[in-house]
Amino acid sequence: MLRFIVISGTTGVTENCFIYEWNGQMLIVDCGVGFPDPEMLGVDLVIPDFTYIKKNKEKLKGILISHAHEDHLGSLPFLFKEVEAPIYSTKLVAGFIEDKFADYGMKIPKINVFNPERDSFTVGPFKINPFRVSHSVPDGVGYSIDTPVGRIFHVPDYKFDWTPVDGRPFDISKAAVLASGGVLALASDCLGSTTEGYTKSEKEIETKVEIIAKSASKKILFTTISSNISRIKQAFNVAAKLGRKVVIVGRSIEKKVEIARRLGYLDYPKDLIISPKDAKRLPENGVFYVISGSYGQIGSALYRVAISDHQFISVNANDVVIFSGDPAPPGSKDNVDFVVDRLIELGVDVHYYDTQDDLHVSGHGSQEDIKTLFGIVRPKYFIPIGGTIRHMRAYKSITHDFGSPRDNVFELKDGEVLGIDSKGARLLPEKVPSKSVMVDGLGVGDVGNIVLRDRNVLANEGVVIVVIGVAKDTKKLNTTPDIISRGFVFKGAKESLLRDASFGLKKELERMKDLDAKLARNVTIDFLEKFFHKKIARHPMILPVVVEV
C-alpha cells in the first residue's frame, strides 16, 4: 500500500510538509515553516512536527522542494539537526536553501539541482518528473511521481500566468504528456478555490508601479517579500526607466538579490544599484529604495524608517512608499497597519493594500486556474493541499464539475494518512504526530500551551510576587509577607491594595498549623486569587517565594 501522510499543510496555509511512503521507504515533498499567531507571545517561527520522520529516518530517501518560499523550505535546517537526506530542487531554490543553512551556521547539505525542462530522476521506489509552474517566485515546479500503484501529480503553489516576469510560463505541454498515460491522484494547491475567475498576471504590476513612480517628486521606497525576485525585478525595471538609482536596504533582500543575480535570475546594469552612502549625494528624486519589511516585522528596515530610527533613511512629506504585497501571514496585518499609520503620520504618500488592490496579485490559482489543472491532469482521486478547511471544501465543489464522485476527494487534516492500493484509496485509521512545534530563540519545541498561557497572563494581567518567611523549627510564619507587583495596578492604588493583601494573607497563613513551603505556596495562591478578584476583578499571575529560615 502507498501511504500519503500529511505532516502539515492542509488545515493551515503554511508549514507545508507531506510524505509518500512505500514498503519502508519515504519521500518528503516540501518542508516549510509557519508564522506565529498574535497570541503566541515571543515565538519566532512555527515548524512541522518531525516526530514521525525522526523515528523513521533510516527510511527517508530524499526531499523534494517545490519552490523558494519559506513555507515550503524554511524548516529544513530544523529537520537536518537530526535527519539527513538528499534534497532535490531547481537552481534558484537550491541557492535559497544553501543561504538558509548558512544563516543557521550549519553545514550545507547535498542538493541535487535539476532542470525541469529535461530532467527526471529516481528517489527510492519513486520516479520523479518535474515540470515548470508559474508562481510569484521564479523556478517553481510541480512533480509527477510514479509510484508502484500509479502516477501521482503533486502540484503545490501555482497559477496559469501566460506573461510571467521571468518569461517561463506553466509548462502545460510537459504536464499534459505526463498525464496522458493516466493519473491516479492529484494533490494540488487549493488556496485560491474561493476566488472566482483566473488569477491575474504578474506583468500588470510593473505598469501600476511605474504610474505611481512617475508622479513622485521625492524619494520612493518599494517593499515586497525578499523571496519575490520577480517583483524586485519589476521594481528595478521601473527605476531604470525613470533614471533613478536603486538602493537595496535590508539584509534579507540584499542576500536574495545577490543569490538571484549570481544564478542568472536577475539581470540589471552594474551602475543601477548604489550604496545608501552614495545615495546621500543624489537628489531625492534620483533614488529608488527597495526595502525589506513588507510584513511590518518589528526591527525590519521599513519598520525602523517608520519609527524614525533608521541609520541611513528618513522619510518626510511627499515621499512615496509602495507596498507590493498583502499582509498574508497570520498576525502580520496589525504590524503592517502600524507601519502604514506611522508613515502616514509623517506625511508620506503610502500606496498599500487597503487603498490599491492592483499592487499585488496572488501566486495561487483561482477557480478557473484550478479547473484548467483538473482538465490537464484528469486524476481519479483529488487531494487539496496548501489551504484551510474552507478552501478544501471549495476545492471539493470544483471537482464535481468534472463528475468526480464525492468519495474520490480526500480533505485530509494534519496527521492523517491516506492509503492507496489495488482496491482504491481510503483514509486509514492511524494518525501520525502533527502538533505545531514552536521555535523561540534557540529553543525548539520547549514552548507549549502552558508557557503560552503564562505569557498571555503576564501580558494581560501582570504578575504579583510574594516573599514569605517560614521558621523551620516552629513551622510558623515569621514575618509579614512582602508583595511586589508589575503590570498589575497603577501606582496610586498599588500601595493600599498590596498592603491590605499582605495583612490579609498574614492572617490566613498564621491560621495554618505545621506551615511548610508547599502549604504556604498553595494558601498564598488561593487567598490572593480570591482577594484580587473580589477587590478589582483581576487575575494576575501569583508567584510565591517561600524562604525557610
- Give the DSSP letter string of 326-378: ---STTHHHHHHHHHHHHHHTT-EEE-TTT-TTS---SS--HHHHHHHHHHH-
Say yes or no to pLDDT of 533 above 80.
yes
* Top-confidence range, 112-116, 136-140, 262-266, 506-510: 112-116
Q: What is the DSSP letter of 297?
A: -
User: What CATH number was assigned to the domain covering residues 462-548?
Assistant: 3.10.20.580
3-state SS, residue 388: coil
What is the C-alpha end-to-end distance of the chain, expressed in Å?
A: 67
Say yes or no to pLDDT of 326 above 90.
no
What's the whole-number mean pLDDT along residues 351-355?
75
Of 475, 468, 472, 483, nearest to 531 by C-alpha is: 483
Domain with CATH 3.10.20.580 in the chain: 462-548
Name the amino acid, one letter, at 67. H
% of the chain exceeding 90 in pLDDT: 63
Among residues 189, 319, 369, 414, the one annotated as catalytic is 189
Say yes or no to pLDDT of 99 above 60.
yes
Q: How far apart are CA 30 and CA 17, in angstroms?
A: 5
Say yes or no to pLDDT of 448 above 70.
no
Q: How far apart are CA 483 and CA 194, in angstroms?
A: 55
Which are the contacts of 491, defined by CB distance < 8 A and separation ≥ 6? none
The reported pLDDT for the residue numbered 484 is 84
Least confident interval from 40-44, 129-133, 210-214, 401-405: 40-44
Among residues 364, 369, 391, 414, the one annotated as catalytic is 364
The reported pLDDT for the residue numbered 511 is 85
3.90.280.10, 3.30.1490.20, 3.60.15.10, 3.40.800.10: CATH of 2-198+362-444: 3.60.15.10
The reported pLDDT for the residue numbered 37 is 62
Under the banding of pLDDT at 50, 70 and 90, the label for residue 307 is: very high
Say yes or no to pLDDT of 475 above 90.
no
CB 410 within 8 A of CB 427: yes
User: What CATH number was assigned to the domain covering residues 203-351?
Assistant: 3.40.50.10710
364 is catalytic: yes
Say yes or no to pLDDT of 111 above 90.
yes
CB 1 within 8 A of CB 25: no
* Top-confidence range, 141-155, 343-357, 457-471: 141-155
Per the prediction, the chain carries an average pLDDT of 89
Would you state the torsion angle of the CA atoms of residues 239, 241, 244, 249, taken in this order, to the nearest 10 degrees? 10
CB 465 within 8 A of CB 543: yes
Alpha helices in 184-228 (DSSP H): 203-214
Residue with more model confidence, 295 or 7: 7
Q: Which residue has the cell 509577607?
A: 481
Q: What is the DSSP letter of 435?
A: P
Domain with CATH 3.60.15.10 in the chain: 2-198+362-444
* Top-confidence range, 340-344, 399-403, 477-481: 340-344
What cell was used for 438?
A: 514552536
189 is catalytic: yes
Under the banding of pLDDT at 50, 70 and 90, the label for residue 174 is: very high
Under the banding of pLDDT at 50, 70 and 90, the label for residue 455 is: low
